[in-house]
A and B are shown apart, each in its own frame.
Chain A
Amino acid sequence: MKQKYLPLTATILIFVLSYALCVMQFPNMLSTRVIGNLLTDNAFLGIAAVGMTFVILSGGIDLSVGAVIAFTGVFLAVVLEQGGLHPLVAFALALAITTAFGALMGAIIHYLEMPAFIVTLAGMFLARGMAFVLSIDSIPIKHPFYATLKGFYYKLPGGGRITLIGGLMLLVFGVGILIAHRTRFGTNVYALGGGAATAKLMGVPVARTTIGIYALSGLLAGLAGIVFSLYTSAGYSLAAVGVELDAITAVVIGGTLLTGGSGFVAGTLVGILIQGLIQTYITFDGTLSSWWTKILIGLLLFAFILLQKGIIRLSRVERQHA
């Protein structure tokens, strides 16, 4: 097996192992319900994390995704409940806005040579601020089309469901993997992450790619916002606080290097599932206080990273001695 698949393999291995451990303690965790929930409940996070994966692969970061999700939710609620548009039209509008927003951040990052961290931090303030301005109240969405969409799901034996949004997340991951590995844009993203100056000398269209990356992240954050609004049937300006950190964590747990240039979209999916597993485990346990919950999440995160490092190092040593 190739060296570069190591982190990914390690992550998958860790996930399977820990799932097995969880099931040994709580047999109920094997139910299709839990598996279906793992997909549905993390759908919006997963979709946003696909965008984040591209951004991080290129050596950047996008702190605005949580705020963009909240903005999209509030925007949809406002135009659906007050504007009377059809949801599909509203979805298209929302995606157009968030994509343009991402593209704008990308353009600022590239043309003004400003660090992504700060540009997207300002973007985060701006997007959440816009959500507040649209409405500080949480607005329920009562459009019948939402109910229709929610009615689509595939029932698994044992009561679990693959919902529309869970399926959408898997689809987005699929498309993300294709874009990353089978398009010139994808290779350019890796190229930027490998070294922007070199990539430029090699003729990578740096401006177009950078803008494209953040536009893609904006688009997917918008899509995540739509999914979130389907998930909760509401728009709320305080929703999805800190989702960017969850997404970054998923990306990194999935074996992508924050310095860029190395990693896999598929790894992010496993990262998402690992995070979901931690959550589920804690709820199943149900004895932890608020503070122990936080401490345990932190420690498990640490344990996963350490395990990953350990596995990678071990197999490197073995290879050298082989």
Chain B
Amino acid sequence: MHSTSDNILSAVRIEKGFPGTKALDKVDFQLRRGEVHALLGENGAGKSTLIKCLTGAYRRDGGSILLDGTEIDPRDTFDAQRLGIGTVYQEVNLLPNLTVAENLFLGRQPRRFGMIDAREMNRMARELLAEYELDLDVTRDLAGYSVAIQQVVAIARAVDLSGKVLILDEPTASLDAHEVAMLFRIVRRLKARGLGIIFITHFLEQVYEISDRTTVLRNGQLVGTRETTDLDRRDLITMMIGRELADEIHTNHPSAGDGQLRYRFRNYGRRGHIDPFDLDVRAGEVVGIAGLLGSGRTETAEVLFGANRADSGTAEIDGRAVDLSSPRAAIRQKFGFCPEDRKTAGIVGDLSVRENIVLALQARRGWTRPISRTEQNRLADHYIRALDIRTADREKPIKLLSGGNQQKAILARWLATEPEFLILDEPTRGIDVGAHAEIVRLIESLREKGLSLIVISSEIEELVAYSTRVVVLRDRAHVAELDGERITAHNIVEAIAAANEGGAS
């Protein structure tokens, strides 16, 4: 075995409690020089909490941390950065109101005569991003760029900060295959330079592709650390969820719905957001939407739901023209929408899990007809159980839940309204394997109940699994549609690529 001196970072018996939760229970963790170490576990297992304790974002309750054999005690993330630990935290944690360059060099801007040398900083920023094949206007505010680009910027920043250790908490959640490949190239290069890299993800393929060792947490406790190559997929899942997963996503996609045609959108669109498109959705049908990052998938969803009012075209339900100009109007037509950006558009952070779940239902009923507390409790408990939302109790503020569990609570919010047309934008992003399978099953059971669903996902395998039809987007326009037997991962990729070659729109 390796001697301890090989460990660049080791954490011993780390403890961390939150009111009502023991998030970390005497967790040990070792990171070697020059290894990629996957940190796995279900939603709420304590992965992010462990990271935050290591980097001083949280004060740990107990345990010690050694960097290069000497004990360290980072008081805040600034300390950790100085020690050579660069981190990408879960959810993009950059400042939207600063420029790209400022985000990259915050706190270490180059200076001349005590003043920031903006020209030099921008030059350095362009140089740094060039490694990531990004050619951005670095003097623009970060808010102007898509989530994916922001994620890459966050990674670039962390990598640049990491002299010894790089920590990546679900960095690939909003990246597509191309960008993931690029990230992995960089990770391998850093690894070769002798850095220790901690990598958190819910994509098991990526674990096998990049990691040398794997540590699994469950309910705040260490389950074990293994060499990744010694670990087969089934064992890994069992380690994570503590039981065998009945069946992973099956690949035989459902037959095209033969339900009646219910929703007809003609020439529907909004200038500057999404080009006018036609779309028909049947009862009992799942329409998957595929496309590269920034292709306009989210915009399509927002226009359908009235979050952005359509400025052209018509919408019909069962042959009757309807008004979908606002979320309320859409909800009146029994629409539901789980947005992609759950932090800003999904959760209402300070409200409890219960209140978050009943929110849409209550809004639809109007304020004069309050849902009784008993009924609220019943609904909340029902969905907490049905979707396996991990929370100490239903009164916990939702912002204190782990990311994946927040996602499930938002889903519950819409299910509680008993929708007939449900739009899910990246419903499985950041969700663990167990829950992932559950959500896929849920989508299927909803379809079987006769709902119409629109599902946006960057995971093509997943789309293939549950879609009865797949729409492919590019440059904010609908460019192709696949159905029946033609829905295969290969065909979707082809369609995106073909469209790509199709030239300017």
Name B57's contact: one of A191, A201, A261 (CB within 8 Å): A201
- CB of B176, distance to nearest CB on chain A (Å): 24
Contacts of B97 in A (CB 8 A): 190, 193-194, 261-262
Q: For the complex, give the distance between the alpha carbons of A4 and B96 in Å.
A: 12
Check A187 against B144 for contact (C-beta < 8 Å). Answer: no
Check B78 against A3 for contact (C-beta < 8 Å). Answer: no
Contacts of A191 in B (CB 8 A): 95, 98, 106
Contacts of A202 in B (CB 8 A): 77, 93-95, 103, 106-107
Check A187 against B115 for contact (C-beta < 8 Å). Answer: no
Q: For the complex, give the distance between the alpha carbons of A8 and B102 in Å.
A: 21
- CB of A206, distance to nearest CB on chain B (Å): 8
Say yes or no for A184: interface residue by CB 8 A criterion.
yes
Q: For the complex, give the distance between the alpha carbons of A183 and B94 in Å.
A: 19
Contacts of A286 in B (CB 8 A): none
Q: For the complex, give the distance between the alpha carbons of A137 and B87 in Å.
A: 59
Contacts of B114 in A (CB 8 A): 183
Given contacts A178-B115, A202-B95, contact A187 B109 (CB under 8 A): yes
Q: For the complex, give the distance between the alpha carbons of A187 and B106 in Å.
A: 7
Name A205's contact: one of B57, B78, B89, B141 (CB within 8 Å): B78
Q: In A179-215, which residues have CB < 8 Å from any B CB?
A: 181-184, 186-188, 190-191, 193-195, 198-205
Check A194 against B95 for contact (C-beta < 8 Å). Answer: yes
Say yes or no for B177: interface residue by CB 8 A criterion.
no
Check A203 against B271 for contact (C-beta < 8 Å). Answer: no
Check A201 against B77 for contact (C-beta < 8 Å). Answer: yes
Q: For the complex, give the distance between the alpha carbons of A193 and B97 in Å.
A: 8
Given contacts A182-B118, A203-B78, contact A321 B272 (CB under 8 A): yes
Say yes or no for B116: interface residue by CB 8 A criterion.
yes
Q: For the complex, give the distance between the alpha carbons of A2 and B137 in Å.
A: 11
Q: In B25-83, which residues have CB < 8 Å from any A CB?
A: 57, 76-78, 80-81
Check B76 against A200 for contact (C-beta < 8 Å). Answer: yes
Contacts of A2 in B (CB 8 A): 139-140
- CB-CB contacts of B111-130 with A at 8 A, as 1s and 0s? 10011101000000000000
Check B98 against A182 for contact (C-beta < 8 Å). Answer: no
- CB of A196, distance to nearest CB on chain B (Å): 10
Check B109 against A184 for contact (C-beta < 8 Å). Answer: yes
- CB of A265, distance to nearest CB on chain B (Å): 15
- How many B residues face the partner with a CB closer than 8 A? 30
Check A200 against B77 for contact (C-beta < 8 Å). Answer: yes
- CB-CB contacts of A106-119 with B at 8 A, as 1s and 0s? 00000000000000
- The residue on B at minimum CB distance from A317 is B272
- The residue on A at minimum CB distance from B273 is A320
A3, A178, A191, A200: most-surrounded residue (chain B CB, <10 A)? A191
- The residue on A at minimum CB distance from B77 is A203
Check B96 against A194 for contact (C-beta < 8 Å). Answer: yes
Check B93 against A198 for contact (C-beta < 8 Å). Answer: yes
Name B107's contact: one of A4, A194, A195, A203 (CB within 8 Å): A203
Check A198 against B95 for contact (C-beta < 8 Å). Answer: yes
Q: For the complex, give the distance between the alpha carbons of A181 and B103 in Å.
A: 14
Check A182 against B115 for contact (C-beta < 8 Å). Answer: yes
Check A204 against B107 for contact (C-beta < 8 Å). Answer: yes
Q: For the complex, give the distance between the alpha carbons of A204 and B115 in Å.
A: 18
Q: Do most interface residues of chain A lie in helix, strand or loop, or is the interface mixed? A: helix
- CB of A178, distance to nearest CB on chain B (Å): 7
Q: For the complex, give the distance between the alpha carbons of A178 and B80 in Å.
A: 30
Contacts of A194 in B (CB 8 A): 95-98
Given contacts A203-B106, A321-B271, contact A187 B118 (CB under 8 A): no
Contacts of A183 in B (CB 8 A): 114-116
- CB of B405, distance to nearest CB on chain A (Å): 19
- CB of A13, distance to nearest CB on chain B (Å): 22
- The residue on B at minimum CB distance from A201 is B93
Q: For the complex, give the distance between the alpha carbons of A203 and B118 in Å.
A: 20
Check A187 against B272 for contact (C-beta < 8 Å). Answer: no
Q: For the complex, give the distance between the alpha carbons of A183 and B77 in Å.
A: 21
Check B96 against A203 for contact (C-beta < 8 Å). Answer: no
Contacts of B272 in A (CB 8 A): 320-321
Contacts of B111 in A (CB 8 A): 184
Check B94 against A198 for contact (C-beta < 8 Å). Answer: yes
Q: In A236-285, which residues have CB < 8 Å from any B CB?
A: 261-262
Name A187's contact: one of B81, B87, B98, B141 (CB within 8 Å): B98
Contacts of B98 in A (CB 8 A): 187, 190-191, 194
Check B78 against A187 for contact (C-beta < 8 Å). Answer: no
Given contacts A178-B115, A187-B116, contact A203 B76 (CB under 8 A): yes
Contacts of A262 in B (CB 8 A): 97
Check A184 against B140 for contact (C-beta < 8 Å). Answer: no
- CB of A11, distance to nearest CB on chain B (Å): 19
Contacts of A201 in B (CB 8 A): 57, 77, 87, 89, 93
Contacts of B95 in A (CB 8 A): 190-191, 194-195, 198-199, 202, 261
Q: For the complex, give the distance between the alpha carbons of A188 and B103 in Å.
A: 10
Contacts of B271 in A (CB 8 A): 320-321
Q: For the complex, give the distance between the alpha carbons of A202 and B102 in Å.
A: 11
Contacts of B96 in A (CB 8 A): 194-195
- The residue on B at minimum CB distance from A198 is B93
Contacts of A204 in B (CB 8 A): 78, 106-107
- The residue on B at minimum CB distance from A192 is B95
Contacts of A199 in B (CB 8 A): 95
Q: For the complex, give the distance between the alpha carbons of A80 and B109 in Å.
A: 44
Given contacts A203-B106, A321-B272, contact A3 B115 (CB under 8 A): no
A182, A190, A205: most-surrounded residue (chain B CB, <10 A)? A182
B103, B116, B140: most-surrounded residue (chain A CB, <10 A)? B116
B57, B78, B89, B109: most-surrounded residue (chain A CB, <10 A)? B78
- The residue on B at minimum CB distance from A322 is B272
Check B94 against A184 for contact (C-beta < 8 Å). Answer: no
- CB-CB contacts of A1-20 with B at 8 A, as 1s and 0s? 01110000000000000000
* Other contacts beyond A194-B95, A198-B94, A261-B95: 13, CB < 8 A: A3-B141, A4-B141, A187-B116, A190-B102, A191-B95, A191-B98, A194-B98, A198-B95, A199-B95, A200-B57, A203-B78, A204-B106, A204-B107
Chain A interface residues (CB < 8 Å from chain B): 2-4, 178, 181-184, 186-188, 190-191, 193-195, 198-205, 261-262, 320-321
22 A-B pairs with C-beta separation under 8 A: A2-B139, A2-B140, A3-B144, A178-B115, A181-B118, A184-B107, A184-B111, A187-B116, A188-B106, A188-B107, A191-B95, A198-B93, A200-B77, A201-B89, A202-B93, A202-B95, A203-B78, A203-B81, A205-B107, A261-B95, A262-B97, A321-B271
- 10 nearest CB pairs, A to B: A194-B95, A203-B78, A320-B272, A261-B97, A194-B97, A182-B115, A203-B81, A203-B77, A182-B116, A201-B93
